[in-house]
Chain A
């Protein structure tokens, strides 16, 4: 019988090297350089549509995804470039997609909020708040029913905490003990509105606990803390012990989208969060513990920057889709 490649039984083991502190640093530096480049290109008029940047939240994608195998699944959201990069996305194809070039993941037709990378288990960024939560839970359902050993991670923002579909998916993940992590990236704002103004209850973690899902708060600016929490949760999922809920407190250094003036943020608050920049924070730790020299880290950051710049420059020269591409892939064979 024909079987989909994606569900072949496999030993899904994360790559140890991918989770080393220096590898985490490299991943975060790559995401930061990627987003700074996207911002520059967007402001220069080279990127059509809307982009939502991940700067400031790098520790969440880097820390969680370091604990996953390539065959594991992630569901991303509208602020999803960081997840795509961390999950092994090809920088050339990512820039091509953002710039509307035919060589992109979706022939340049999807852009920032519609990036899918099946080779790396990326179920997609999405323009619907909460849209990918059931996709990740559903991929976990396949993993469970077909005993593939895969794990799925659903990344979502604090805005999803008030979407009904999250509760429905959590309930089913709990009753069926699905191998899924619900990772809330709480950056304090749903678009321009503070989470405190629109979210009832004393503790977000209670929303997971209501379903008897192990739920914990994590410092989302500390990549090592994120990685540690993810390691426990992934192991639990992989052992058939069901879902986990991680609430990673973080901060988006940019606005909701590029061009957002961010009048709703207090300057003092922004300054305080800036001091906790996840990349600088890891650098300080590694240097203090003598696990790396600043020179080494600067070299990694420079390499990341030049890889990103090279990909972005190359993508600018690529072809746009042709009119024939408009109707391609509407239906599968």
Chain B
């Protein structure tokens, strides 16, 4: 498309923020270093200058109350995008997220809505170590009442952020730092990517990979390797893990008869187990091999250049797993 422009994931999200703040003056940004500093990754750059201190609010380092106040602010009529700088720090806001934000709409029988976006950066890479590399997407996905979004491409990141801001529920928007500089085309105009609708990123007949966020990009590399061996991989990116588009996943597996589920988070009690169970329960008769999984081992993430690369499954491991599935 000639009208499309190229942006990185980080700038695509920033463009969504600019557009949504201009569209609706209830949208504001709250967090540590989001204003004058423009974000620790430059992810809010220019918003303070354009919208001012009443719309872009720098806070002290007080995650529990920052987030709790965002919940109250949303109940009273704002539509805040609150930033938790690193995904690891979501542990600090868990009480207000789980016991307040997720429950207020239900407990008030619809009397209050809590329209907020908690955006946070996760990602293994750069030797940031065990307190700056974790992703708790499975943990928050386990809480009824929250939505959980995990974009991978610039177009999705922008369209999903716009949808998240317009959603009337608390949405946890998880950005993988390692995707921030990935460039891609952005469609012109006010394009929304609806929450809960998967994207078939790549079509193929032999095996289905289900992956979100950066794992889609690693899976694509594996699919390229396997294409050279005559193996056609289909990649389904749910884009949101809550709500999860089960139908698109199941339709793909019914077509290919094999499924590999990937995650950059830990294997044990993580999203790969959940998605594998859904496939096993609802597409068992179509399967030619057991549902396979690859995810981070259940260990903490070392701050070490020799060990850190062992955490997230790589394209070679994914390709090898698929060869084994096809030969089984």
A145 touching B100, Cβ below 8 Å: no
B76 touching A73, Cβ below 8 Å: yes
Interfacial chain A residues near B286, Cβ < 8 Å: none
Q: How far is B54's CA from A145's CA once the two chains are assembled, in angstroms?
A: 6
Interfacial chain B residues near A332, Cβ < 8 Å: 105, 110, 113-115, 168-169
Known A110-B107, A138-B68: A172·B60 in contact at CB below 8 Å: yes
Q: How far is B63's CA from A164's CA once the two chains are assembled, in angstroms?
A: 11
B100 touching A128, Cβ below 8 Å: yes
Chain A min CB distance to B302 (Å): 30
Chain A min CB distance to B144 (Å): 6
Interface hit among B20-28, B42-50, B200-208, B312-320: B20-28
A134 is contacted by which of B71, B76, B110 (Cβ under 8 Å)? B71
A135 touching B109, Cβ below 8 Å: no
B72 touching A165, Cβ below 8 Å: no
Known A124-B108, A131-B100, A145-B54: A330·B72 in contact at CB below 8 Å: no
A169 touching B169, Cβ below 8 Å: no
Q: How far is B59's CA from A225's CA once the two chains are assembled, in angstroms?
A: 35
B327 at the interface (CB under 8 A from A): no
Interfacial chain B residues near A165, Cβ < 8 Å: 64-65, 68, 96
Q: How far is B24's CA from A124's CA once the two chains are assembled, in angstroms?
A: 27
A66 at the interface (CB under 8 A from B): no
A53 at the interface (CB under 8 A from B): no
Per-residue CB proximity of B61-81 to A under 8 Å, as 1/0?
A: 010111111111111111000
Known A145-B78, A146-B78: A138·B105 in contact at CB below 8 Å: no
Interfacial chain B residues near A160, Cβ < 8 Å: none
A168 touching B64, Cβ below 8 Å: yes
A304 at the interface (CB under 8 A from B): no
Q: How far is B164's CA from A165's CA once the two chains are assembled, in angstroms?
A: 27
Chain B min CB distance to A148 (Å): 8
**Docked complex: A135-189 residues within 8 A CB-CB of B:** 135-143, 145-146, 148, 150, 152, 164-165, 168-169, 171-172, 175
**Docked complex: A104-137 residues within 8 A CB-CB of B:** 105-107, 109-110, 114, 116-119, 123-124, 126-128, 131-137
Per-residue CB proximity of A1-32 to B under 8 Å, as 1/0?
A: 11110110000000000000000000000000
Q: How far is B169's CA from A146's CA once the two chains are assembled, in angstroms?
A: 21
B72 touching A138, Cβ below 8 Å: yes
B108 touching A116, Cβ below 8 Å: yes
Q: How far is B272's CA from A250's CA once the two chains are assembled, in angstroms?
A: 53
Chain B min CB distance to A134 (Å): 3
Q: How far is B170's CA from A332's CA once the two chains are assembled, in angstroms?
A: 10
A138 touching B107, Cβ below 8 Å: no
Chain B min CB distance to A138 (Å): 2
A7 touching B109, Cβ below 8 Å: no
For A, the interface residue count at a CB cutoff of 8 angstroms equals 54
Q: How far is B168's CA from A184's CA once the two chains are assembled, in angstroms?
A: 32
Interfacial chain A residues near B230, Cβ < 8 Å: none
A-B interface contact total, Cβ < 8 Å = 168
A328 is contacted by which of B72, B77, B104, B109 (Cβ under 8 Å)? B109
B73 touching A124, Cβ below 8 Å: no
B105 is contacted by which of A145, A169, A171, A329 (Cβ under 8 Å)? A329
B108 touching A106, Cβ below 8 Å: yes
A142 touching B78, Cβ below 8 Å: yes
B268 at the interface (CB under 8 A from A): no
- Please, which residue of chain A has its CB at the minimum distance from the CB of B108? A116
Chain B min CB distance to A247 (Å): 20
- Please, which residue of chain A has its CB at the minimum distance from the CB of B101? A135
Q: How far is B144's CA from A7's CA once the two chains are assembled, in angstroms?
A: 28
B108 touching A137, Cβ below 8 Å: no
Interfacial chain A residues near B99, Cβ < 8 Å: 126-128, 131
Interfacial chain B residues near A73, Cβ < 8 Å: 72, 76
Per-residue CB proximity of B156-170 to A under 8 Å, as 1/0?
A: 000000000000110
Q: How far is B55's CA from A137's CA once the two chains are assembled, in angstroms?
A: 17
Chain A min CB distance to B46 (Å): 20
B60 touching A168, Cβ below 8 Å: yes
A137 touching B62, Cβ below 8 Å: no
Interfacial chain A residues near B25, Cβ < 8 Å: 1
A331 at the interface (CB under 8 A from B): yes
B103 at the interface (CB under 8 A from A): yes
Q: How far is B101's CA from A126's CA once the two chains are assembled, in angstroms?
A: 12
Chain B min CB distance to A72 (Å): 11
A142 touching B100, Cβ below 8 Å: no
Chain B min CB distance to A178 (Å): 9
Known A138-B70, A143-B76, A145-B54: A168·B105 in contact at CB below 8 Å: no
Known A139-B73, A139-B75, A142-B73: A134·B68 in contact at CB below 8 Å: yes
Known A137-B65, A165-B64, A332-B105: A116·B111 in contact at CB below 8 Å: yes
B65 is contacted by which of A109, A116, A134, A148 (Cβ under 8 Å)? A134
Residues of A that sit less than 8 Å from B by CB: 1-4, 6-7, 73, 75, 105-107, 109-110, 114, 116-119, 123-124, 126-128, 131-143, 145-146, 148, 150, 152, 164-165, 168-169, 171-172, 175, 328-333
The 7 A-B pairs with the shortest beta carbon distances in the complex, nearest first, are A138-B72, A134-B68, A168-B65, A7-B77, A138-B69, A116-B108, A135-B72
Q: Provide a sorted-by-A list of 25 A–B residue pairs whose CB atoms are within 8 angstroms.
A: A1-B23, A3-B77, A6-B76, A73-B76, A105-B111, A106-B108, A106-B109, A109-B106, A114-B107, A116-B111, A118-B75, A124-B107, A124-B108, A134-B68, A134-B96, A138-B71, A145-B57, A165-B96, A168-B60, A328-B109, A329-B105, A331-B145, A331-B169, A332-B110, A332-B115
Residues of B that sit less than 8 Å from A by CB: 23-26, 28, 54-55, 57, 59-60, 62, 64-78, 95-96, 99-100, 103-115, 144-145, 147, 168-169
Given contacts A4-B26, A131-B96, 14 further A-B contacts (CB under 8 A): A4-B77, A105-B111, A114-B103, A116-B107, A119-B111, A124-B107, A124-B108, A131-B95, A139-B75, A145-B73, A164-B64, A165-B96, A168-B60, A168-B65
